[in-house]
Amino acid sequence: MTEIQSVIIEWYYEYKRDLPWRRTQNPYYIWLSEVILQQTRVVQGRSYYEKFVEKYPKIQDLAAATEQDVLTTWQGLGYYSRARNLHTTAKIVTHEYSGIFPNSYEKILQLKGIGEYTAAAIASFAFDKAHAVVDGNVFRVLSRVFNIETPIDSTEGKKQFTYLANELLAKNQPALFNQAIMEFGALQCVPSNPNCQICPLLIHCEAFKNNRVSLLPIKKGKTKIRKRYFLYCVNLNTTNESILLRKKTENDIWKNMFEFPKIEFESIEKMNEYCLTNKDSIDRIFSSYKHILSHQHLHAQFIMSSNRKDFMCDNVIEIPINDLINYPLPRLIDRFLEENLSLFLNKG
């Protein structure tokens, strides 16, 4: 174990990336980076981290912001429940902990939106507590080095890998080792086609010895994907340059964000049938879009239509087009506007 620790740490000193959240022990900044980097690549997450730090330099600043402002700042990152949980926890820390982030793993874990991995990361990186972080990169490194076939998404697997990670953890420098093993998984022991021949852990890797690197880690099965079909109606008033938006308040994707009024269909055939039946009232049909979420695949069609009664719904507001930047929009809507807004403003 000690030799593996040393190899990973030495590799980290030579190959680590210079990332802003690694230059601080401020628990607020570390927590912010961890939440942003969930389901987000580092290259994208870094710009959002810097934007949040600049806009909300203290946790009290984030707590004082409106949810709409936080969601707008988060726009484009996806998984918007992360932003809502971020805002909620900022208010809890500000009002219940006097703005001082709790320094124990157990108390950190009680905060909204913080699971075992994030709690361990904050406790380790901010307070140098000996808690092993076990993210996807760590699962991959451990499963290969020790040739573990237990599914990483099983209860047994999570217990086994967490135990092993804590056994391997360098207790005298937990923050350093946690950063090192995660970076090793991100840059060296990558998911597909890792360059094992240059890996410093080659002589220790049981998966390599048994020709099983490409087979590990193992998952029980894939999550069932739900397919959804949206027909969005773009209600544009070119006279006063305003547009209709609907605030989503139901418990569904993109809660408390804004979108165009829409109809949801059970199949793409049903959606196409509607468009064909109502073709006389449809003024323009735009390109269709596909948007992939973790558990849902969205098929969206955008139209301009004079038949607005089918799209009547609650929480619809009319806003100046120039104010769109102040409203949090799902990336799907944002993509449509980027590609089409100037087109139909110019042509009517």
Q: Quick count: other Cβ atoms within 10 Å of Cβ 330?
A: 22
Total number of domains constituting the chain: 1
DSSP state, residue 213: G
Strands 296-305 and 226-233: parallel
Residues annotated as catalytic are 34
Residue 117 contacts residue 133 (beta carbons within 8 Å): yes
Read out DSSP for 60-85? HHHHHS-HHHHHHHHTTS--THHHHH
Separation of alpha carbons 334 and 27, rounded Å: 32
Residue 114 contacts residue 89 (beta carbons within 8 Å): yes
In a domain, 131, yes or no: no
In a domain, 233, yes or no: yes
Residue 180 contacts residue 112 (beta carbons within 8 Å): no
What is the pLDDT, as a whole number, of residue 285?
A: 92
What's the order of all strands across the beta sheet hosting 226-233?
Answer: 262-265, 226-233, 296-305, 282-292
Q: Quick count: other Cβ atoms within 10 Å of Cβ 290?
A: 9
| Strand-pair partners of 285 | 303
What is the pLDDT, as a whole number, of residue 222?
A: 67
pLDDT in tens, the chain (348 residues): 889 999 999 999 999 999 999 999 999 999 999 999 998 899 999 999 999 999 999 999 999 999 999 999 999 998 899 999 999 999 999 999 999 999 999 999 999 999 999 999 999 999 999 999 999 999 999 999 999 999 999 999 999 999 999 999 999 999 999 999 999 999 999 999 999 999 999 999 999 999 999 999 999 876 788 999 999 999 888 777 889 999 999 889 999 999 999 999 999 999 999 999 999 989 999 989 999 988 899 999 999 987 778 887 788 999 998 899 899 999 999 999 999 877 655 544
Separation of alpha carbons 97 and 333, rounded Å: 38
Q: Domain of 279?
A: 226-347
Place of tokens 């690197």: 213
In a domain, 309, yes or no: yes
What is the pTM for the complete model shown?
0.82
How far separated are the first and last CA of the chain, in Å rounded? 68
CATH assignment at residue 300? 3.90.79.10
**Which helix or strand (DSSP H or E) is residue 153 part of?**
none
Cβ neighbours for 203, distance < 8 A, ≥ 6 positions apart = none
Please state whether the peptide bond connecting residue 102 to the residue before it is cis, i.e. omega within 30 degrees of 0. no
Separation of alpha carbons 252 and 335, rounded Å: 20
In a domain, 321, yes or no: yes
In a domain, 265, yes or no: yes
Strands (E), the chain: 226-233, 236-237, 242-247, 258-259, 262-265, 282-292, 296-305, 316-320
What is the pLDDT, as a whole number, of residue 347?
A: 46
Separation of alpha carbons 36 and 211, rounded Å: 35
Separation of alpha carbons 307 and 281, rounded Å: 6
Rg from Cα positions in the chain? 24
What are the φ and ψ backbone dihedral angles of 232, each rounded to 5 degrees?
Answer: -95, 135
Place of tokens 């079909």: 229
In a domain, 259, yes or no: yes
State the chain's maximal CA–CA distance in angstroms. 74
Separation of alpha carbons 62 and 75, rounded Å: 16
In a domain, 289, yes or no: yes
In a domain, 313, yes or no: yes
